[in-house]
Every structure is written in C-alpha cells, then in structure tokens.
Amino acid sequence: MNAKSYWIATALVAGTYLMTGAMDLAHAPPMADGMARLGYPPYVMSLLGVWKILGAAALLAPGLPRVKEWAYAGITFNLTGAAFSHVVSGDPAANVAVPLVLLGLAAISWALRPQSRRLAGAVPAGGVPSGIPAAARGA
C-alpha cells in the first residue's frame, strides 16, 4: 500500500510541476495573468518554470537521494510562498488551498518514499536515525 500511495502522490506532484513548469516557461496567458495579479514580474515565470521541471525530474529519477531532498525542500518553499502570495493579495480561499493541498501531496510523497530514495542516515519510517549506534539510542 505504501509503495502505491507513494507513486500516486509523487506522480500527482511531479505531473503538476511538469505541466505548470512548461506553462511558466511558455508564459502561458493563465499563468502570466496570475503572476501579474500577484505582483510578480514576468521573468519570475522563467525561473520558476526551470526549477519546477528540474524538481519534477529529480522526484521521478531513480537514485539521487540528496537531489531529491533538495527538490522536496524547493517544492515546499514554492508552495508555501504561493499560498502566502495568495493570502496577502486577497485571493479567495480556494486559491490559497490549491498550493496547500499540493504541499500535502508532496509531504505524503516525501514520507512514503522508499529506502532507495532516502538519504543515507536519514530518519527511517520507525523514527530512529539509522546512523546512530544502538548504545547511543539506549537500545
């Protein structure tokens, strides 16, 4: 069940990031209008588009656990920034909720990622870092 849930959450996040990244790079009118309404200059779309596509690729690629950690961090920064931007611009609650829901999916993807996609020494699902000797853990 965890592997299936991981891949569903990861596919939704990566797919959304690939699609919106391409739309950012193309300066698609819906994206350009939204960015202008939030007060961002058009060149920000180019930067975000590249980062989104690279982040999605990092999530989907095999291995590269350190790169994946950075991708998840970047996704977190992007989505919390998006939600905050919608709040301060006075957008409706639905516009704030969308990035937060996607953030929830990213958190599920991160929490359920298989061992092969985790950084060595990172905290496993059981909550005890694998790099700590048993004596130091009180075991």
Q: Which two tokens stand for residue 107?
A: 């958190």
* pLDDT (tens place) for every residue of the chain, 139 residues total: 689 999 999 999 999 999 999 999 999 999 999 999 999 999 999 999 999 999 999 999 999 999 999 999 999 999 999 999 999 999 999 999 999 999 999 999 999 999 989 988 756 655 655 555 555 555 5
Per domain, the residue ranges of the chain are 2-116
